[in-house]
């Protein structure tokens, strides 16, 4: 008769262990790969007719925005983020329009909010447009390394491709375009 309580206790322990494993499996985040594409806005109009607070792109900048669409289009980004300036929106708008997507605005003073949103989202390939003093900082925050410096005012040619797997950076590439 002492055997019967032992079997019942063993069954209860196995049941509890199985329940814990099923719950843990349900809570587990599936492996997710992400590609975050960072770009500084293209060349802005610095003529005296341009709005000094929110200048549009100049002719070279418009051409660079089209080049960006050609170079990055092959990655098929599913989301686009930009600061609320004409030059940043207009840099990514050609590709966003081609992909049938809207450009979503973000606050460059709150980079961690943007990073958390991108990492928590389901979209696997994301473009973020910013400025000479914000995009390198975003790259540093995502990679968790202070490697990238602010860009020179005349530097418009760099694209960062940051690949992540399960929230960890696996590769960083710099493209010249």
- Beta-sheet pairing, 33-40 with 125-130: parallel
Phi–psi pair at 58, nearest 5 degrees:
-85, -175
pLDDT band at 153 (very low <50, low <70, confident <90, very high): very high
Q: How far is CA 56 from CA 59, 100, 101, 130, 167, in A?
A: 10, 22, 21, 14, 35
* Residue 32 pLDDT level (bands cut at 50, 70, 90): confident
Quick check: 90 and 58 in contact, CB under 8 A?
no
Task: List, for residues 160-170, the tens digit of each pLDDT value.
Answer: 999 999 999 99
Instruction: Enter the tokens of residue 32.
Output: 């997710």
Place of tokens 């929230």: 167
Q: Is the pLDDT of residue 131 over 50?
A: yes
**Mean of pLDDT values over 78-87:** 98
Q: Residue 20: is its pLDDT beyond 70?
A: no
């Amino acid at each position: 008769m002492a055997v019967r309580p032992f079997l019942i206790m063993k069954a209860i322990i196995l049941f509890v262990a199985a329940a814990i494993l099923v719950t843990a499996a349900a809570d587990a985040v599936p492996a997710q790969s992400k590609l975050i594409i960072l770009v500084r806005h293209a060349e802005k109009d610095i003529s005296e007719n341009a709005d000094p607070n929110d200048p549009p792109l100049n002719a070279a900048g418009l051409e660079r925005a089209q080049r960006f669409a050609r170079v990055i289009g092959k990655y098929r980004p599913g989301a686009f983020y930009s600061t609320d300036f004409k030059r940043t929106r207009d840099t990514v708008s050609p590709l966003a329009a081609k992909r049938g997507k809207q450009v979503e605005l973000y606050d460059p003073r709150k980079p961690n909010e943007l990073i958390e949103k991108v990492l928590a989202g389901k979209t696997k390939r994301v473009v973020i447009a910013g400025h000479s003093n914000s995009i390198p900082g975003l790259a540093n925050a995502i990679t968790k390394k202070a490697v990238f410096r602010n860009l020179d005012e005349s530097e418009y040619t760099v694209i960062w491709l940051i690949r992540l797997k399960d929230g960890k950076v696996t590769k960083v590439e710099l493209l010249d375009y």
